Amino acid sequence: MTTLEEVREDLGDCRRCELCEGRANIVFGVGDPHARVMIIGEAPGKNEDIQGEPFVGAAGKFLNELLGEAGLKREEIYIANILKCRPPQNRDPKVNEIEVCAPYLREQVRAIHPDYLVTLGNFATKFILKTECGITNMRGNVLQAGRFAVIPMFHPAAAIYDRSKVDLLRQDFRMLGTLLVENDGKRSKGSEHDEV
Ligand code: URA
C-alpha cells in the first residue's frame, strides 16, 4: 500500500501541466493520515498557493467553522484538492489538468482510506462520483464511490457569495456528524484494490 509520503515523493517538483509556471507552492494536502473524513476541494486559491496549505483563505475559515457543526476539528480530518497548483485568476480547472493531477488525489484517498469523502462543489463531486449531475441536486445525499461513502456539499466559497447556501451547508455538516457518531467503531479496512 502506497503511503502519503510516497505519493508526495512521486509528485515531486511536478511539471506535468502548465500550472507549474505560475505557482508559488504545490498544495499537496494536510491533516490526519488516518482520518475518517477526507474533504476534497477544487484547487488552491491565492492564499493556499502562498502558504502551501489547502483552505487557509476565507473559504477555509468558513470550512473550519462548518467542521465544528460535525463535531470535528481541522486536525482530525484530511483536506486535499483535485488540482495541487493554483489556476491563474482562480479559473476553472481544465480537462488535461484534472487528467494529470487527479491520479495523485486517487492515491491520497487510497492511502488514507477514510470512511467518508466530502466533495465540495461541482468539480470535486463530478470527478469523484463520475457524474454530470450538478451539486444543487446531489447535496443532502450520501452516495457511494467504490467502497467510499461520498457526501457532496456546496463549496464554502459559493456560500460566501450566496448566503442561501449557508444553512444547507450547516445542515449537511451536521448530517456528517450524526453519521460519524452512528458508525463509530465500524471503520472499514482498506485494501489496495479499493477504487475511487
Ligand atoms: N478552494 C478550494 O477548492 N480549495 C482550496 O484549497 C481553497 C479554496
For 65-124, what is each residue's pLDDT tens digit? Answer: 999 999 999 999 999 999 999 999 999 999 999 999 999 999 999 999 999 999 999 999
Q: How far is the CA of 3 from the centre of ligand 1 (A)?
A: 23
Is there an atom of ligand 1 within 6 Å of 55 CB? Answer: yes
Cβ atoms 187, 103 nearer than 8 A:
no
67 C-beta closer than 6 A to ligand 1? no
The share of the chain scoring above pLDDT 70, in percent, equals: 96
pLDDT tier at 47, thresholds 50, 70, 90: very high
| C-alpha torsion angle, residues 164, 56, 173, 169 (rounded to 10) | 10
The DSSP letter of residue 92 is: P
Return the best residue to mutate from 27, 40, 42 for the ligand 1 pocket (most ligand atoms within 8 A of CB): 42
Given a contact cutoff of 8 angstroms between Cβ atoms, the answer to whether 113 and 188 are in contact is yes
Distance CA(47)–CA(114), nearest Å, equals: 26
Domains along the chain with CATH numbers: 4-182 (3.40.470.10)
Evaluate if residue 186 carries a pLDDT over 90.
Answer: no
**Bridge-based pairing state of the strands 143-145 and 116-120:** unpaired
Q: According to the model, what pLDDT value does residue 196 have? A: 80
Residue 37, ligand 1, Cβ within 6 A: no
Each residue's pLDDT tens digit, 4-13: 999 999 999 9
